[in-house]
Structure 1
Amino acid sequence: MKQIDTLIIGATALAYPLAARLGGAALVVESGFSVGAEFSEAMIAERVKNAEHTGLAGEICAELEKRGILLPDGRIHILAVGGALAGKYLETGAEILLGTAVTDISRVQDGFIATLFGAENGYEQIAAKRVVDTRTREFMDCRKVFGLMLAGEKDMNVWSDDKSFVEHGVFDDEYILHLYVDRDSTIPDCEKYADEWLKTNRSRIGNARVAGITLVFGYRFAEPVREERDGIIYVPSASYPDVISAVRGGEELCL
């Protein structure tokens, strides 16, 4: 059985600095096929706070600004962030398994036994001294959101209320409409709800048209979360308001 020091679940923005810190002592397992999906694929484009970022967060900010993905006012072209994060992950030295799910975790005397399932390797078990889960889990207190990319309207009002909120991306007509949905909602459920919302609220988005939808749900938390259950450390990357804050949160995390 393969043995590792730290199993990191979720190739998230927060997990990146953990992987960079631990290098070959870490195994990152991601059920999807991209990194930072909790922001990039969920299209969570909260403006990056105008603060002095250092360390890995500062490096990513500098790269995103150089590539025109992040503007001085904090607006971000969130769809391009995943590719930038992927490049950073490749520099960490950690092993990364994409398209691989964690199906079971058992507590043992000297750590954990995790069962993984991937299309390429099938089922396999690994032993880990510690487990850090950076995903959003069912027991966490947060709101689920479904996003729609809007284009074609340069003067849309940005709002936030108890049913929806809008974020402005890098381009003048790049807006993202987020609708709060039930925690058990599926993508087809949300598509129907979005159609109904657009029929009722068409005037709020002016001449904008829907250019695409998210295939990954986003989440909104009241504040960043860190808790431990049965020895597993839970630090959901999505509990941070923006992708850079999540990277900084991973840098500051004490294991």
Structure 2
Amino acid sequence: MQPYGFVGTGELTAAVVEGLSAGSPAPPPVFLSPRNQRIAHDLAARFPNVTACGSNQEVLDRATAVVIAVRPQITRDVLEELTFRPDHVVVSAVAAVSLAELRDHVAPAERIVRAIPLPTASRRASCTALYPDDPVARTLFESVGEVVVPENETTLATFSAATATFAAHLDQLATIAAWMAAHGVRAEDANAYVAHVFGELGNTLREAGVPDHIGHGLDAVLTRLTQ
């Protein structure tokens, strides 16, 4: 079974690892870096397939598919401290770091993918944009939801810009649905109800001209991501 390694253990990593592990009869081996020991050790305590490693390099030594999920401003420093193998599949969940930039820092690894998983991966309900398509990356993210592959890396930046605006909104919706489920509502009913209510709210905002303001904001985010 394909072992997965994660360099960077923030909330996004936690969501993907939970989606891979919770309720699965045969979850894959997962190796986590110690960058956030609280999250890493919590996941390792909850799921027997998860191991909290002592270093980022240990993650690479024990996994073939490696997900990079650190902050953009420290990505270069983190990668330069690591030794990659030719057989590594490197999946970057870092916004605004291009394939060309990644290639310079992960050689001799050649299979490099950029991906934008969503926090809903914890419920296996993510819709992950990735580019280029790769069978290992696709298998990983299809395990926690759906996959969409844009035509090119430039188009992927459009997905990234959109994600930047609604990640917190998705987290809010998931929290509301989870709260309803904890109070006796079936999970599927809670999700459907929350989606309906906020969908109707969207219609009201549309009538008030909010989409124009959102469009201008998205243009500004996309400019920052592609400069």
**TM-score (norm. length: structure 1):** 0.28
Name which structure has the greater RCO, CA cutoff 8 Å, separation 6+. 1
Q: Which has the higher helix share?
A: 2
